[in-house]
Homo-oligomer: A and B are copies of this chain.
Amino acid sequence: MPKTSPGRFFEDFSLGDTLRHATPRTVTHGDVALYTALYGPRFAVQSSDAFARAIGYPHSPVDDFLVFHIVFGKTVPDVSLNAVANLGYAGCRFLAPVYPGDTLSTVSEVIGLKENSNGKTGVVYVRSIGVNQNGTQVLDYVRWVMVRKRVESARAPGELVPALPKALEPAELGDACPVIDPQAYDTGLSGQRHRLRDYVAGEMIDHVDGTTVEEAEHMMATRLYQNTAKVHFNQFTEGQGRFGRRLIYGGHVISIARALSFNGLANAFHIAAINGGRHVAPLFAGNTVFAWSEILDVQDLPGRDDVGALRVRTIATKDRPCGDFPRRTGEDYDPSVILDLDYWALIPR
């Protein structure tokens, strides 16, 4: 009876399966400092207890993407150890703030399965929920991945492609953001003076700066999230693989792009939801990441007059500045594009 887990293959999943993931994880000020060192975010609410308190938080909450990566990381050994590709995200909502000292764990449900026509792989849809030590849900999202079959002749374990929302509605946003005092939100200290209504749909913002990625950085980040996907860590094996390189965790790219977006979106302090995201191409150590954003929508939140929501599409590239907004034309992306992320961020009114 082997003591090590080879991970699930496509035929090992069943619709409705509930997966309780290891390992629960207490988030601390140490994690927050590492997140700062790895990405350099400067959003005032997450950076300063004093700033956070002034607007109504008890103290600084943990960065939303740090929460996402920790909740996500736990699903890897059970869901995607034998994945060929991470295909997409949908319906991702942040439901409660997370503070240093909170303990996060993750439970997933298999909500969809679809064998591919080649008979060698299938798509698995899981809905994952992150909860804190009190059982409060902090994050809820769906992702789907392409997973290899162990045995090609194995029967497909079911077939259901779940209906997934293209985007969250404004009424579904804001649970993880306490009511804040927008007057106390000091735009003289936050790095930029623009509030909700200073943005308009269609606006495009080049985030200007670029940041080069190192092997030590992405591996430290990915281990911090206790994400065990082999392709990020093992040069011996990956050196003989398709790219000859370690692949960088897609979430690392998301956090880099988010940190770069401060320059232009400094007051969009809270990620309320991720509508969808696509890792268009892989990133490798030595590449330099740039990003730009388009404002897709500007919305009030029903019943709230403190904050509103910007729907933002952030595109990240490698080794190509974004002054001319490289993007998708028809079905094809500019070859520099590595990430196309669609999310809602909250910003003071």
Contact = CB atoms under 8 A, between A and B. Distances in A.
Contacts of A47: 23-26, 226
Interface in A181-224: 188-192, 194, 198-199, 203, 205-212, 214-217, 219-224
A266 B266 CA distance: 42
B3 A265 contact: yes
A13 interface: no
A319 interface: yes
A153 to B, nearest CB: 25
A266 B50 contact: no
A23 B212 contact: no
Interface stretch (A89-97, A110-118, A229-237): A229-237
Contacts of A228: 40, 42, 209
Contacts of A144: none
A24 to B, nearest CB: 4
A10 B217 CA distance: 35
Interface residues of A, number: 84
Contacts of A26: 47-50, 59-60
A22 B191 contact: yes
Contacts of A290: 236
B192 A5 contact: yes
A190 B105 CA distance: 11
A37 interface: yes
Given A205-B3, A226-B36, A42 B22 contact: yes
The residue in A60, A198, A220, A230 that gathers the most chain B C-beta atoms within 10 A of its C-beta is A220
A222 B38 CA distance: 10
Given A36-B224, A217-B220, 4 more contacts: A3-B264, A4-B263, A37-B221, A39-B223
14 contacts: A3-B199, A26-B48, A29-B29, A30-B31, A40-B226, A42-B226, A77-B191, A210-B230, A210-B233, A210-B234, A211-B234, A212-B246, A214-B219, A236-B290
- What 10 pairs across the A-B complex have the smallest Cβ distances? A30-B33, A22-B191, A40-B223, A24-B48, A236-B288, A216-B216, A28-B29, A212-B235, A214-B216, A30-B30
